[in-house]
Amino acid sequence: MSLEALPTLREALEAHGLWAKKAFGQHFLLDLNITRKIARLAEVGDGDLVIEVGPGPGGLTRALLETGAQVIAVEKDERFRPLLEELAAAANGRLTLVFGDALTTDEAALAAGRPAHLVSNLPYNVGTPLLIKWLTGPWTPVSLTLMFQKEVAERIVAAPGSGAYGRLGVIAQAACDARPVMDAPARAFTPPPKVDSAVVRLEPRADRPSPQRLDALQKVTAAAFGQRRKMLRSSLKVMGGEALVTTAGLDPAARAEMVDVKGFLALADAWLASR
Ligand code: SAM
């Protein structure tokens, strides 16, 4: 059977007696117009390698395959194996299925040295830890096109001074250029979640900090935003306080929410140099 001849996603779910499970953060995109738009925003095409996390019923997977890309799909819910095996059979060798937890998946081993794009309608319950893993880990994708809860998407792209600005935005923007590319209302999903969603596209920066600097950045942002109302000289007291902040060229009386990404990188560097 070819991709075009496959039953609709709803028919496939029914034929396999599958329904969404809350524990796996399952909210499905069954409208191929939406999944095709995400595949377009991912800017992938013929011969590109894509790692997709959480294919579920395979709507986004189908759209990615239609672009001509080669897809490696990592799914935790074994119930989807028979349905996804039918999709793999229709994909003529361009879909590889991996059943396991994306939090512990070794993407470098999956990609086997080939550059790979990450595309996913992420499970809400593990979206942020997965993003942190891809931003700070030793393996770097070519690009990341990811659906999050809207509130998380806003935090990823937030600018200093905004209420959404925090650790996630600093780490994401230090490692990548990040921009929102699509909104998706809750009603676009089956079953609909309680909140709206948005797709963010992230492209790793040429000056992406080393894993050691990103680790230091995680520590200073945890301390600074852990007490975001305090001045840096107090919130960073255990890491060096006023001396550390001055060495980084920042005002010890500044608060975390006003410090830009460059400022946090300077704090991370000053802290690494002080140890
Ligand atoms: N891609 C499908 C779509 O757009 O309709 C499903 C998206 S649904 C929001 C999230 C998917 O991620 C589900 O299929 C779920 O089983 C899977 N999932 C949840 N936790 C996972 C994990 N830790 N590793 C891999 N897949 C996971």
**86-129 confidence digits (pLDDT tens):** 999 999 999 999 999 999 999 999 999 999 999 999 998 999 99
Q: How many Å lie between the centroid of ligand 1 and the Cα of residue 93?
A: 22
Q: Whose CA is nearest to atom 14 of ligand 1?
A: 56
Strands 49-53, 117-121: pairing is parallel
- What residue ranges of the chain have pLDDT lower than 70? none
Q: How much is the pLDDT for 1?
A: 78
Length of the chain: 275
Q: Tens digits of per-residue pLDDT, 144-176? A: 999 999 999 999 999 999 999 999 999 999 999
For ligand 1, whether the C-beta of 64 sits within 6 Å is no
Please give the CATH number for the structural domain made up of 3-204.
3.40.50.150
Q: Whose CA is nearest to atom 1 of ligand 1?
A: 55
For ligand 1, whether the C-beta of 107 sits within 6 Å is no
Domain spanning 211-274: which superfamily? rRNA adenine dimethylase, C-terminal domain (1.10.8.100)
DSSP the chain: --STTSPPHHHHHHHTT----GGGT--B---HHHHHHHHHHTT--TT-EEEEE--TTSHHHHHHHHTT-EEEEEES-GGGHHHHHHHHHHTTT-EEEEES-TTT--HHHHHTTS--EEEEE--GGGHHHHHHHHHHSS---S-EEEEEEHHHHHHHHPPTTSTT-SHHHHHHHHHEEEEEEEEE-GGGSBS--SS-EEEEEEEE-TTPPPHHHHHHHHHHHHHHHHTTTSBHHHHTGGGTHHHHHHHTT--TT-BGGG--HHHHHHHHHHHHHT-
For ligand 1, whether the C-beta of 167 sits within 6 Å is no
Q: How much is the pLDDT for 134?
A: 96
Q: How much is the pLDDT for 264?
A: 98
For ligand 1, whether the C-beta of 26 sits within 6 Å is yes
Q: Whose CA is nearest to atom 20 of ligand 1?
A: 24
Domain ranges in the chain?
3-204, 211-274
Q: Ligand 1 test: best mutation among 13, 19, 24, 35, most atoms within 8 Å of CB?
A: 24
